[in-house]
């Protein structure tokens, strides 16, 4: 990927190419796939169920045969890959190390296999490309009782940095987004008020807000960003709940679309 001149207004002058989005049939992955398609990407989804809007390779994103099938299904050369697929199951470290390891692998394998597949495609076509991994605030600040997920996400952030370092000289970029709580079908609505309170913005995020950042990181506008872990967490990782904390400033204005804000 060649540097843009300062006068370049932003987006590339040619269509971006093909992009694979794992876990793209619903939730955050679906929002990412929709946004990328709107930006001109030729989207291929990998998921255990069919996407209602994009060509889909049905299967396990951690299976090399499935990821190879996604490359074959792409109508144009691959230029982007989004590792979004994840498993949300818990196990206690003191109970069963084997079960913990299994769950770590189920979250790490799709990112590792996806990255390997993308790199091979970029190298085979002699093209530059970008990879975005979906991580979590839990990679650096684990939530109690979610050890396998936290361990896997920390490893995915290490994978992101290693990919950026090893392949940057070839114009291949790798970045990650570290998410806070995002409103999807798996979010327990009864917990939303409490979850909102641990984010500095006072609310949970929306899938489209994640999609916007992923789209930017895949675009030419992010041509000098690589090896970065971008928090998309409403300030959750920056805020540390503390018994001595005090409220600063006026109360939020509820008339501003339901989002916290200051009165005029």
Residue-wise pLDDT for 134-164, tens only, equals 999 999 998 888 999 999 999 999 999 999 9
This prediction's pTM:
0.87
Q: Which residue in 88, 128, 94, 87 sits closest to 110, CA to CA? A: 87
Q: In the prediction, which pLDDT does 249 show?
A: 72
Q: In the prediction, which pLDDT does 246 show?
A: 67
In degrees to the nearest 10, what's the CA dihedral of 203, 207, 211, 212?
-40
pLDDT grade for 13, boundaries at 50, 70 and 90:
very low
Residue-wise pLDDT for 61-110, tens only, equals 999 999 999 999 999 999 999 999 998 888 998 988 999 999 999 999 99
Cβ atoms of 80 and 96 closer than 8 Å? no
In the predicted structure, residue 11 carries a pLDDT above the cut 80: no
Active site residues: 149
Give the angle subtended at the CA of 70 by the CAs of 187 and 33, to the nearest 5°. 40
pLDDT grade for 245, boundaries at 50, 70 and 90:
low
Alpha-carbon span 99 to 91, nearest angstrom: 7
pLDDT grade for 12, boundaries at 50, 70 and 90:
very low
């Amino acid at each position: 990927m060649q540097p843009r001149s300062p006068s370049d207004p932003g987006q590339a002058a040619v269509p971006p190419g093909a992009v694979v989005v794992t876990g793209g049939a619903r939730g955050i992955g679906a929002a990412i796939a929709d946004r990328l398609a709107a930006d001109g990407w030729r989207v291929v989804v990998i998921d255990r169920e069919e996407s209602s809007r994009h060509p889909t390779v049905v299967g396990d994103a951690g299976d090399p045969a499935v990821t190879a099938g996604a490359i074959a299904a792409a109508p144009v050369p691959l230029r982007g890959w989004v590792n979004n697929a994840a498993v949300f199951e818990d196990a206690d470290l003191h109970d069963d190390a084997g079960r913990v390891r299994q769950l770590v692998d189920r979250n790490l394998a799709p990112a590792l296999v996806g990255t390997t597949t993308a790199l091979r495609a970029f190298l085979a076509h002699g093209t530059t490309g970008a990879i975005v991994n979906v991580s979590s605030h839990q990679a650096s600040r684990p939530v109690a009782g979610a050890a396998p997920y936290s361990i896997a996400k920390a490893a995915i952030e290490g994978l992101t940095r290693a990919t950026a370092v090893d392949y940057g000289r070839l114009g291949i970029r790798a970045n990650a987004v570290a998410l806070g709580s995002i409103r999807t079908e798996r979010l327990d609505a009864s917990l939303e008020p409490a979850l909102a309170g641990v984010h500095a913005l006072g609310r949970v995020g929306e899938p489209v807000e994640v999609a916007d950042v992923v789209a930017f990181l895949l675009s030419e506008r992010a041509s000098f960003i690589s090896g970065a872990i971008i928090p998309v967490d409403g300030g959750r990782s920056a805020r540390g709940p503390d018994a001595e904390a005090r409220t600063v400033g006026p109360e939020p204005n509820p008339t501003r679309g339901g989002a916290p804000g200051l009165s005029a």
